[in-house]
Amino acid sequence: MKKDLLSLKDLTEEDAFYIFELAEGLKAGVGEFERPLSGKSVGLIFQKPSNRTRLSFEVGIFQLGGNAVYMTGEDIKLGVRESIKDVAKVQSRYLDGIITRTFTHKDAITLAKFAEIPVINGLSDLYHPCQALSDIFTLKEKLGKLTNVTLAYVGDGNNVLNSLMYAAALTGVNIKFSTPPGYEPKKDLVEDAKEVADKNKTDVLYFKDPEDAVKGADCVYTDVWASMGQETERDKRGKDFEEYRINDKLFGKAKKDAIFMHCLPAHRGEEVADSVLDGPNSVVIDQAENRLHVQKAILTVYIGGKKKQ
């Protein structure tokens, strides 16, 4: 396993399932009294504000016996007040690991390059690996399997979809996605996921029509239409994404017992109707909870040093 977790390309299929195995145990209370981060401090460098990512990591670090040190973008001014290289080298003398939430993925790569301690990507403009691992873990938990499972993603071709495509391919899940024209994920990222999917004999498929993507799916997933930093585009995106809203009609194209997932925060009535978000098939709150368990597993492996034997 590599020193850092910047994208899911840093994991093998075996690594991903080992993290799931640890997360299942941690959620069930196995090893409850183990404290793999005892005496260790983990820095959270967050250029963007956060709710679930900050909370789940801070609580997870505490439950594993460690100490979390939260630093905002204003505190650090990464690459502005001080070079990323110097920040990485100095913080490596104080901390045992770093969680980053950066505007650009390039900053996360630079931080990891010069840090002597593990760097975990808590979100960048390109990837959201911890979210995607938690999503696949939730899928496995709710459906009881990953084989012959199809996940349909409808919405923006953003960092969430980039990581979800790769996570699905890596763990044997079929993924169908639909985005408005002009909002597709980058071709090279789709090709990366398809290459892994081919090895696992699964599919990564694009559909222009969201109904075609959702048809017969085991899970329907969406995200906000305008992410943080894209607020000025919200009106235009609202028009462009109008046909991609997950309402009862569109969700009804999936399997009868299909589950609904959303990484949150949700803009109710925009990308998803209240009736779907609050409906009996929605698992979004469990999905959010699983960020805690999966990230505790990630912390245990990367910073606690509990590698697979």
Residues marked active site are found at 101, 128, 131, 223, 263, 291
Strands (E), the chain: 41-46, 67-72, 97-101, 119-121, 150-154, 174-178, 204-206, 219-222, 259-262
Amino acid code (one letter) for 181: P
Amino acid at 24: E
The length of the chain is 309
CA distances from residue 85 to 41, 90, 91, 115 in whole angstroms, order as listed: 20, 9, 10, 8
Distance CA 300, CA 307 (A): 8
Question: What count of other Cβ atoms lies within 10 Å of the Cβ of residue 107?
Answer: 18
Which residues is 178 bridged to in the sheet? 154
Burial 149-188 (b: 16+ CB within 10 A, else e): bbbbbbbbbbbbbbbbbbbbbbbbbbbbbbbbeebbbeee
Between CA 46 and CA 111 the distance in angstroms is 13
